[in-house]
Structure 1
C-alpha cells in the first residue's frame, strides 16, 4: 500500500473513532506542510470528507482532526452603540415660565 493510501486509511479510522467519542463531527484534518507535499496533496483538498490544512506545529508523520468542540467557529458579532444615562438630571421645560410662578425642582424637598 502506498504512503498516500496508508495516510488515507489512518485518517478514516481516526475520523470513525472521533465520531464514537465526540458529539461534534470533525471538519478539518491538519498535517505538517511537508507531509501534505509528500502525499502529493494540496492544502484545501478534501481527504475522507475533511478539509486539509497545513500546520507546521505538528510533527511529520502526524495529523490532527479538528471539530467545533475543539475550536468553535467564529461568531459574527454585530456592533451596537451604547447609550448611557446622563450624569446629572435633565430638566425639560414644558412651556415658558411666568414671572409670578415658582419653578419646580424635583430635588427640592419643599416641592
Structure 2
C-alpha cells in the first residue's frame, strides 16, 4: 500500500523502447513486458507496433500503446489535467528500456479520479 497520494489514469501513447532479444515468444509480448516492468504501470495493451530496428542485443521498437498507471498526486488535490501528459511521459521514461515517449495522445482518469 502506497503512503503517497496517486491518481490512476489510462493513457494512450506512442513510445520508443528496447525489447531484449529472446525474452518472449513474440515482439508484442516483449513490448508489453518492458512497459509492465515500469513501477507505475498496472496494465498494458499494445495497440500496434509501428517500427522495428534490430540491434545486436535488443530490438528497437516504436509502438502505440494504452497503459493504466499511477501518477503522483500533488498536495494541492491531484495532477492537473494539463500536466497529465508530461506526468505520464515522466513515469514511462523512468522505466528501463523505454528510450522516449514520442507523443501522449490521451490521458483519462480511471474510476472516481
Taking structure 1 as the reference length, what is the TM-score of the superposition?
0.25
Look at both structures and tell me which one has the larger radius of gyration over its CA atoms: 1
Larger RCO (CA under 8 A, 6+ residues apart): 2
Taking structure 2 as the reference length, what is the TM-score of the superposition?
0.25
